[in-house]
Structure 1
Amino acid sequence: MTTRFKSVVPGAHLSDQVADALAAEIRAGRLGVGSKLPTEAELVGQFSVSRTVVREAVSRLKSIGLVDSRQGSGVYVKKAGFSPLNFDARHAESREAVIQMVEVRRALEAEVAALAAQRRTSADVKLIRQAIAALDQAVQAGGDGVDEDVKFHRAIADAARNPFLIGTLEYLGQFLRGATRVTRANEARRADFARQVSEEHEAIVRAIDAGDATKARQAAARHMNNAIRRIEQADPAFWQQEGEQLARKLVSGLGSVIN
Structure 2
Amino acid sequence: MNTLTKPTSLTDEIAYHLEQKIRQGEISAGQKLPSETQLRQQFSVSRNVIREALARLKSNGLIESRQGSGAFVLPAESHQHFRIIDDAKDLTALRKRYEIRLETEVAAASMAARRRTQSQLLKLQRTLDQLRDHGLTEHTEHDLQTQVAAASANNYLEGFLAYLNGREPVSPHYSWQNAPRQFIEHWQEIIDAIALGDPDLARRHYWRYLLSSAELQGIRGLQGWERTRMSGLSELYAPLCAPALASERRPRLPIPVGACDSHMHVFWPDHARSFTPHRSYTPPPASLESYLAVQKRLGISRAVIVQPSVYGTDNHVVLESLRQARRQQGEDAFRGVVVIPPNIRFEELEAMHLLGVRGVRVNLLFKSGVAVSDLRTLANKIAPLGWHLQLLADLSEFSDIESTLGALPVPVVIDHMGHIPPELGPQHPGFSSMLRLLATGKIWVKLSGAERLSGERWPYTDVRPLAESLLRTNPERLLWASDWPHTCLSGAMPDDADLLDLMEFWTDDRALQHRVLVENPAALYGFASLPDQERIL
Instruction: With the length of structure 2 as denominator, give the TM-score of the two structures.
Output: 0.36
Instruction: Return the alpha-carbon distance in structure 2 between the equivalents of residues 51 and 204 of structure 1.
Output: 31
In structure 2, what is the equivalent of residue 69 of structure 1?
65
Q: Deviations along 1:205-227, whole A, 9 cap, x unmatched?
A: 12111111111111111111222
- In the alignment, which of 201, 205, 208 is matched to residue 215 of structure 1? 201
8 Å CA contact retained: 2:62, 2:80:
no
Q: Secondary structure at the match of 2:176?
A: helix
In structure 2, what is the equivalent of residue 178 of structure 1?
169
Matches within 5 A, 1:38-117: 38=34, 47=42, 49=44, 52=47, 57-79=53-75, 80-81=77-78, 83-87=80-84, 93-117=89-113
Identity %: 28
1:226 aligns with 2:212: yes
1:134 aligns with 2:120: no
Q: Supply the RMSD in Å over aligned alpha carbons.
A: 3.3
In structure 1, what is the equivalent of residue 314 of structure 2?
none
8 Å CA contact retained: 2:4, 2:43:
no
In structure 2, what is the equivalent of residue 28 of structure 1?
24
Letter in 1 for 2:137: G
Unaligned runs of 5+ in 2: 219-453, 459-537
Instruction: Return the alpha-carbon distance in structure 2 between the equivalents of residues 14 and 145 of structure 1.
Output: 17
In structure 1, what is the equivalent of residue 145 of structure 2?
153
Greater alpha carbon shift after TM alignment, 66-75 vs 79-88: 79-88
Shift of 1:235: 6.6
Identify the structure with the greater helix proportion.
1
Letter in 2 for 1:160: S
Report how many aligned residue pairs link the two structures. Answer: 219
Instruction: Return the alpha-carbon distance in structure 2 between the equivalents of residues 225 and 41 of structure 1.
Output: 39
Instruction: Return the alpha-carbon distance in structure 2 between the equivalents of residues 235 and 194 of structure 1.
Output: 21
1:8 aligns with 2:2: yes
Instruction: Return the alpha-carbon distance in structure 1 between the equivalents of residues 186 and 35 of structure 2.
Output: 45
Residues 10, 34 of structure 1: alpha-carbon distance in 2 compared, 3 angstrom cutoff: closer
Instruction: Identify the structure with bigger relative contact order (alpha carbons < 8 Å, sequence gap 6+).
Output: 1
Instruction: Return the alpha-carbon distance in structure 2 between the equivalents of residues 146 and 50 of structure 1.
Output: 16
Instruction: Return the alpha-carbon distance in structure 1 between the equivalents of residues 40 and 212 of structure 2.
Output: 44
Instruction: Return the alpha-carbon distance in structure 2 between the equivalents of residues 8 and 204 of structure 1.
Output: 42
Instruction: Return the alpha-carbon distance in structure 1 between the equivalents of residues 120 and 185 of structure 2.
Output: 20
Q: Deviations along 1:82-133, whole A, 9 cap, x unmatched?
A: 524313568x853444444333322221101100001112222211111111
In structure 1, what is the equivalent of residue 182 of structure 2?
196
Letter in 2 for 1:179: V
8 Å CA contact retained: 2:4, 2:13:
no
Residues 221, 50 of structure 1: alpha-carbon distance in 2 compared, 3 angstrom cutoff: closer
Instruction: With the length of structure 1 as denominator, give the TM-score of the two structures.
Output: 0.69
Instruction: Return the alpha-carbon distance in structure 2 between the equivalents of residues 68 and 215 of structure 1.
Output: 36
Greater alpha carbon shift after TM alignment, 145-154 vs 122-131: 145-154
Shift of 1:81: 2.4
8 Å CA contact retained: 1:65, 1:81:
yes
- In the alignment, which of 120, 135, 146 is matched to residue 116 of structure 2? 120
8 Å CA contact retained: 1:19, 1:58:
yes
Q: Secondary structure at the match of 2:57?
A: helix
Q: Secondary structure at the match of 1:174?
A: coil
Q: Secondary structure at the match of 2:211?
A: helix
- In the alignment, which of 162, 167, 170 is matched to residue 159 of structure 2? 167
Residues 18, 152 of structure 1: alpha-carbon distance in 2 compared, 3 angstrom cutoff: closer
Letter in 2 for 1:128: L
Q: Deviations along 1:126-151, whole A, 9 cap, x unmatched?
A: 11111111122232xxxx33322221
Instruction: Return the alpha-carbon distance in structure 1 between the equivalents of residues 39 and 58 of structure 2.
Output: 16
Shift of 1:43: 5.8
8 Å CA contact retained: 1:134, 1:148:
no
Instruction: Return the alpha-carbon distance in structure 1 between the equivalents of residues 59 and 200 of structure 2.
Output: 30
Letter in 1 for 2:201: K
In structure 2, what is the equivalent of residue 205 of structure 1?
191
Letter in 2 for 1:228: A
